[in-house]
Structure 1
Amino acid sequence: MSSTTRTAARRPRAAVAMKPDAAAAVLAPRSLAALAEVCALAPLPVLDDFTTDRARAALADAELLVTGWGCPPLDENVLAAAPRLRAVVHTAGSVRGHITEACWDRGIEVSSAAAANALPVAEYTVAMILLSGKRALERARDYRAERRRDDWLRTSPEVGNYGRTVGILSASLIGRRVIELLRPYDLRVLLHDPYVSAADAAELGVRPVELAELFAQSDVVSVHTPLLPATRGLVSRELLTSMRPDGVLINTSRGAVVDQDALTDVLRQDRIRAILDVTDPDTLPSGHPLWECDNALITPHLAGSQGNEWQRLVDLAVHEIGRWAAGDGFAHPVRRERLAFLA
């Protein structure tokens, strides 16, 4: 019997739990139809409060939860109301907001679409690496202001991407995908990740270096480390001031990984450039001095999945549910012992 036939014959009872606006964005009719092929969904609207009578009724029957942004925590009280629950499939990246110790103690299996969400972040990062090498944004700004082209035969030898050094901070899912996407280009790639062995680095095609060397030797440093107690403020004033003149810091991870006050000071000194898809807080106050830095490009956390890219998250979730229902297990499991190293 094919896996498709087995899956169709065994559709686990499931409920959907996330914020209503997340559901409106991610669960288009096509997505709901695809989910309904692999599981028996409880009637909508989605659950965003597990204390209601409707939620308690859905939880009582659910073998599986399809979760998304804004899912409430699955604590002991919620699990007590869900005696049949055996698995959670998350249609976004991090599960830290809703998967609790009680879930692991209960032995609930967890899957995440972090791998799918990593792709657009990596694509954005690579695009910004290449654009920053050509000084595309700065030169476009000058072109608009002056209404004339610069003399391309007199372009500085610092402009361009041939032979540039890119430093990757953390071989996370996104960091690894960035490394993979950079392979066709004439770039030298350095990596700092204390959990990656020399053999693993060689397999990735990068040179492992200490943190200080990563910042001192790279033309571009791209931050991909998750925000953990040990990584808060990891990108320090000392590291920022050690960067090459006109070096570029790209952060698509979490704003608090970078010492933002130090970064602001270094940018105001016009020492380096920065491309920031995240800040601390994620929406900067209107009077924050970073807004006044012409050498900082600040985007509104747009690197992750948006628009038609949400379909990729649901496609992965549907595939995971089909595998799990067929007894094949998750292809993208989240392990309790790895959670301390994940975003």
Structure 2
Amino acid sequence: MTATTRILVSSETDDLIGRELFSQLDSVEVIPYDPTTTSLDERQRQAEIFVPPYRGTNRPMALMAQMPNLRMVQITAAGTDEWVNEVPDGVVLAGARGAHAGPVSEWVLSAALTQYRQWPALVRFQDEHVWAHRKFAADTLRGKRALIVGAGSIGLAVARLFAVFGTESTLVASTRRDGVHAAGEIPELIQGHEIVVITAPLNDQTRNLVDKHFLASMDDGSLLINAGRGKIVDTNALVTELQSGRLRAALDVTEPEPLLEDHPLWACPGAIISPHSARTVPGTNELCYGVAVEQVKTFMIGKIPANAARAR
């Protein structure tokens, strides 16, 4: 007789598709839970696989301590950095890497176009009822060069979209491979790129990677786009560069996050900020749960999932 694997899945609306997809697996019992609760009932405590919610993933993190049989945590975010030191020893942690490539790469492209075609200025002219013909200088992506730091599924998708608009991409990852430079080469690569895109995960090697020296090496007038993690960029150093008018930025993530109401980054010239929403479009939750289910299926047959961060 095959043992049943109990999977704890959020009861929120965005996670309905997850409950449906997990329930289609053989020998599985899907147990709903409220991510806002502080206490699990006896049936929920017996779960062996824990799936945090699609929105506000970290909210139920403390519930892991109430699950004595926990063997795997499967999150729907691409990055696992906020969980990696919280998951108990012996428990496999896996993310949804690959699910976000489409929505996030689309955000990167839209951010670049927004800056180059001067949409913030256009909207402000519109607010003032000003017909701003020839009152500003727009630019084009064609002929530009982009340095993409992070050559995973998102970074590769960004490069494909840029290519359609005539932008040449240079890809960087932690280690060198065909068509991809190693992170150690970044200091020699920065100059000559009008756009720098951050899609790397947060780890000890990327924390504060974009510091004052990195920013100082960027060409005058170039654009920094951060779709990775806020802590990859030194916020104070970026504020200094933006206030000088030398650089521009498009940020979906910041440090701190959420950005405090009185933070100087809000008022920096040449900056546009979105509230960590690059992936937040209809259907992304289904993409995330599609990847999550495949990771869990792999785990259930005794193999380590491809997106496993580590098994402590």
TM-score by length of 2: 0.80
**1:74 to partner: Cα distance:** 8.3
**1:67 to partner: Cα distance:** 3.5
State the AA in 2 paired with 1:187.
T
Mark the CA change 1:73 to 1:319 in structure 2 (over 3 Å): closer, same or farther. Answer: same
Match status 1:193 vs 2:193:
no
* Match for residue 36 of structure 1 among 23, 46, 51: 23
Distance in 2, matches of 1:303 and 1:224, equals 12
Match status 1:126 vs 2:126:
no
Which is higher, the Rg of structure 1 or of structure 2?
1
Distance in 2, matches of 1:221 and 1:305, equals 22
Residue 89 of structure 1 corresponds to 74
Tell me if the contact between 1:218 and 1:244 (Cα under 8 Å) persists in the aligned partners: yes
Mark the CA change 1:58 to 1:189 in structure 2 (over 3 Å): closer, same or farther. Answer: same
Residue 95 of structure 2 corresponds to 112
**1:125 to partner: Cα distance:** 0.9
Distance in 1, matches of 2:213 and 2:45, equals 51
Tell me if the contact between 2:149 and 2:196 (Cα under 8 Å) persists in the aligned partners: yes
Secondary structure, counterpart of 1:287 in structure 2: coil
Match status 1:177 vs 2:157:
yes
Distance in 1, matches of 2:104 and 2:161, equals 11
Distance in 2, matches of 1:90 and 1:182, equals 29
Tell me if the contact between 1:190 and 1:208 (Cα under 8 Å) persists in the aligned partners: no
| Mapping of residues 239-250 of structure 1, within 5 Å | 239-250=214-225
Secondary structure, counterpart of 1:41 in structure 2: strand
* Match for residue 148 of structure 1 among 119, 128, 131: 131
Mark the CA change 1:11 to 1:175 in structure 2 (over 3 Å): closer, same or farther. Answer: farther
Distance in 2, matches of 1:305 and 1:280, equals 20
Distance in 2, matches of 1:163 and 1:293, equals 27
More helix by share: 1
Mind listing any 5+ residue stretches in structure 2 that lack a counterpart?
A: none
Over aligned residue pairs, what C-alpha RMSD do you find? 3.5
Match status 1:238 vs 2:213:
yes
Q: For each residue in 1:273-314, what CA deviation from the matched residue of structure 2 results, as whole angstroms up to 9, or x when unmatched?
A: 111111111122222222222311011111134543212112
Tell me if the contact between 1:74 and 1:99 (Cα under 8 Å) persists in the aligned partners: no
Distance in 2, matches of 1:66 and 1:43, equals 10
- Higher mean alpha-carbon deviation, 173-182 vs 115-124, is at 173-182
| Mapping of residues 2-21 of structure 1, within 5 Å | 12-16=4-8
**1:44 to partner: Cα distance:** 2.8
Secondary structure, counterpart of 1:114 in structure 2: coil
Distance in 2, matches of 1:330 and 1:125, equals 31
Tell me if the contact between 2:19 and 2:30 (Cα under 8 Å) persists in the aligned partners: no
State the AA in 1 paired with 2:61.
P
Mark the CA change 1:89 to 1:255 in structure 2 (over 3 Å): closer, same or farther. Answer: closer
**1:112 to partner: Cα distance:** 2.3
> Percent of pairs identical after alignment?
23
Residue 58 of structure 1 corresponds to 44
**1:99 to partner: Cα distance:** 5.2
Mark the CA change 1:11 to 1:91 in structure 2 (over 3 Å): closer, same or farther. Answer: farther
Tell me if the contact between 1:212 and 1:239 (Cα under 8 Å) persists in the aligned partners: yes
Tell me if the contact between 1:73 and 1:97 (Cα under 8 Å) persists in the aligned partners: no
Mind listing any 5+ residue stretches in structure 1 that lack a counterpart?
A: 1-8
* Match for residue 315 of structure 1 among 269, 286, 290: 290
Q: For each residue in 1:4-30, what CA deviation from the matched residue of structure 2 results, as whole angstroms up to 9, or x when unmatched?
A: xxxxx9684223156xxxx525312x4
* Match for residue 310 of structure 2 among 332, 336, 339: 336
Mark the CA change 1:322 to 1:251 in structure 2 (over 3 Å): closer, same or farther. Answer: same
Distance in 1, matches of 2:102 and 2:210, equals 24
TM-score by length of 1: 0.74
Secondary structure, counterpart of 2:190 in structure 1: helix
Residue 168 of structure 1 corresponds to 148
Distance in 1, matches of 2:214 and 2:82, equals 31
Q: For each residue in 1:212-235, what CA deviation from the matched residue of structure 2 results, as whole angstroms up to 9, or x when unmatched?
A: 343321111111232223333221
Tell me if the contact between 2:96 and 2:307 (Cα under 8 Å) persists in the aligned partners: no
Residues matched between the structures, number: 307
Mark the CA change 1:278 to 1:196 in structure 2 (over 3 Å): closer, same or farther. Answer: same
- Higher mean alpha-carbon deviation, 270-279 vs 137-146, is at 137-146
Secondary structure, counterpart of 1:26 in structure 2: helix
